[in-house]
Amino acid sequence: MSDFFLDIERRGPHALTGWRDGRAVLHGEFLARTAAWRALALRTPGHSVALYLADSIEFGAALMGAWLAGKTVWLTADTLPASCAALAVSVDAFFGEFPDEFRPALPAADDACELAWHAAAPAFSALVVHTSGSTGAAQAIPKQFSQLSAEVATLETQFGALLGPSAIVATVSHQHIYGLLFKVLWPLAAGRPIHAHSLFFPEQLAQALGQGRCALVASPAHLKRLPDHIDWQAAAANLRAVFSSGGMLEPEAAANASDLLGKVPVEVYGSSETGGIGWRQRLAGDAGGWQALPGVSWRAGADGLLEVQSAHAGDCWVALADRVAPADSGGFLLLGRSDRIVKVEEKRISLDALEAALLACPLVLEARMVFCPEARGQRPGLAAIVVPSAEGRALLASEGKLALNRRLRALLAATVEAAGLPRRWRYPAQLPLDAQGKSPHALLLALFDEGTGERPSLPGVRVLESAPLRVLLEVRVPPDLLYFDGHFKDAPVLPGVAQLDWAIHFGRAHFSLPPQFHAVLALKFQQMIGPGQVVSLELLHEQAKGSLKFRYFSEAGPHSGGRILFQ
């Protein structure tokens, strides 16, 4: 256990820790940054610190430095005001890239610590992570050092020979347990080079994967959107493994990723509470069984719910909300979550069963069901978020939302009683995703806070990068967007005023902006944006000036941009 920690220090100063913006980062530089963060942590009062840094190598140094100073590190997936305010109740200080009002600390230029590294006590309270919030409010989960080091050892036992000296390229953030283990702790422990920045755009990813022997750490949301017009041949030649976690990877997406990247993705199943539980490589026609990771025991407990025991789960049996059954392969099958059974008018309704019924329909590409509490005059009840297929979009465009609602309600009527049919429907261009590629419950519910119009007025959005004063979003323009009416009948174009409105809307969602709009400066519209188009939106909060800079861009180049003033 302690070897993992001490081996990081023992590695030679000229060993390669990773790359940052094309420049090699040697281990001596990493150790110096660890010493600087340790000095900061030692002079910071209290026992707990929140840590947020976008750079994975600098994050690793800050994490090691805080641990060497005896600090418990709290992780957050973002730095939104609500997230930071919740952390402030539990931590004594904020380290890294937090908003100014939380007084984030960074090492001084001359910070250093000459103290020797020491092994961490097994029971040291090293980390607090949060559940993803996919089925409700996120919960804080404490982790002892022994649990983290045991899981690092488990991953090396299972996958180390497959990877060898591969560099680690990732599309996911290290601010949650999957990215933390696969992108920071495991590579540092095994001496595998780390790419400091997550890569979100396919062109960047193909280039990075083509540079040398590597492994890709991704999520289902990223893998199922790999475009086939990019040349992945160099990437496929260099890849030794593709990992996917954070949700189930559909067989079609796994097959497509395998065709493009030359490797069948290794799916890793686990939870914030238990760490890793099992893995699988799913081929066409496979029943989808999971194999337990080394050192993990499992059983079907009360009501057929999965229970697991392992060193990284705390060496006690932990019950999960996943229903389980034995698989022919000797592993186990997952049968859906028990906490996705809701009561509607005294009827027990399986959200999983409703989603499965929708997904079997050729009009549907993706589907999620949520239970909406009473709000804005709406009775509480089920709501459906459906990403239409090409056939579904055609029906939506030709006959309207009510026609598609009726078709899908009729389909579900064969599965559930009338009381369990969704009362409300949304048809976004894509499911809302956070930086981890997940669709948290809060983001899904937010789709129903935009009024009750029949046509969408906001795009599908995925957070690519998030920092206190900068956010980068992937924006998918709905084909049936309300604002296309009148702009123009034969060739719809996204109006400039809508682009401004979206910039302000998402700016207010991520930053604390002054209440009143004042003016727009340096406004430029360079290329049109059309139905179904995917563009990036970068927002920069100029806090001292009370302004918001925005720019829309894509592979085709810049689309628009400007500076919005508030007062």
Kindly report the CATH number assigned to the domain that includes residue 183: 3.40.50.980
Residue 78 CB contacts under 8 Å (≥ 6 apart), including other chains: 175, 434, 435, 463, 466
Residues 290-305 pLDDT 10s:
999 999 999 998 778 8
What confidence score (pLDDT) does residue 90 get? 93
Residues 116-128 pLDDT 10s:
998 888 899 999 9
Residues 10-25 pLDDT 10s:
899 999 999 998 899 9
Give the mean pLDDT of 421-449: 75
Domain annotation covers residue 333: yes
State which of 107-111, 247-251, 409-413, 473-477 shows the largest mean pLDDT.
107-111
Tally of domains in the chain: 4
Mean pLDDT of the chain: 87
3-state SS class at 182 = helix
**Is the same domain home to 158 and 301?**
no
Q: Find the domain containing 470 and state its range.
A: 455-567
Does the pLDDT value for residue 88 go beyond 60? yes
Does the pLDDT value for residue 519 go beyond 70? yes
**Is the same domain home to 124 and 219?**
no
CATH number of the domain that residue 231 is part of? 3.40.50.12780
**Domain ends where: 454, 486, 513?**
454
**Domain ends where: 454, 477, 496?**
454
Name the percent of the chain lying above pLDDT 90: 46
Indicate if the alpha-carbon torsion angle 152, 155, 161, 167 is positive or negative.
negative
Does the pLDDT value for residue 288 go beyond 70? yes
End-to-end CA distance of the chain: 55
Query: Directed axis angle between helix 27-42 and helix 56-68, to 10°?
Result: 50
**Domain ends where: 454, 476, 508?**
454
Q: 284 pLDDT band (50/70/90 cuts)?
A: low
| Amino acid identity, position 389 | S
Domain annotation covers residue 203: no
**Is the same domain home to 188 and 218?**
no
**Is the same domain home to 398 and 474?**
no
Indicate if the alpha-carbon torsion angle 223, 228, 231, 232 is positive or negative.
positive
Contact assessment for residue 34 and residue 6, using Cβ atoms and an 8 Å cutoff: no
**Is the same domain home to 151 and 15?**
yes
What confidence score (pLDDT) does residue 532 get? 82
Q: 3 pLDDT band (50/70/90 cuts)?
A: low
**Is the same domain home to 259 and 241?**
yes
**Is the same domain home to 450 and 471?**
no
**Is the same domain home to 189 and 252?**
no
Q: What pTM did the predictor assign?
A: 0.73
**Is the same domain home to 250 and 192?**
no
Q: 42 pLDDT band (50/70/90 cuts)?
A: very high
What confidence score (pLDDT) does residue 423 get? 84
Q: What CA–CA distances, in Å, run from 123 to 2, 178, 181, 254?
A: 12, 21, 19, 39
**Is the same domain home to 339 and 356?**
no
**Is the same domain home to 192 and 277?**
no
Q: 397 pLDDT band (50/70/90 cuts)?
A: confident
Give the mean pLDDT of 434-448: 70
**Is the same domain home to 13 and 147?**
yes
Residues 198-242 pLDDT 10s:
887 888 899 999 999 999 999 888 898 888 888 999 999 999 999
| Amino acid identity, position 441 | H
User: How far apart are alpha carbons 41 and 106 in whole angstroms?
Assistant: 10
Domain annotation covers residue 433: yes
> Pick the residue with more confidence: 522 or 397?
522
Nearest to 389 by CA among 413, 407, 410: 407
Q: 453 pLDDT band (50/70/90 cuts)?
A: very low
What confidence score (pLDDT) does residue 204 get? 86
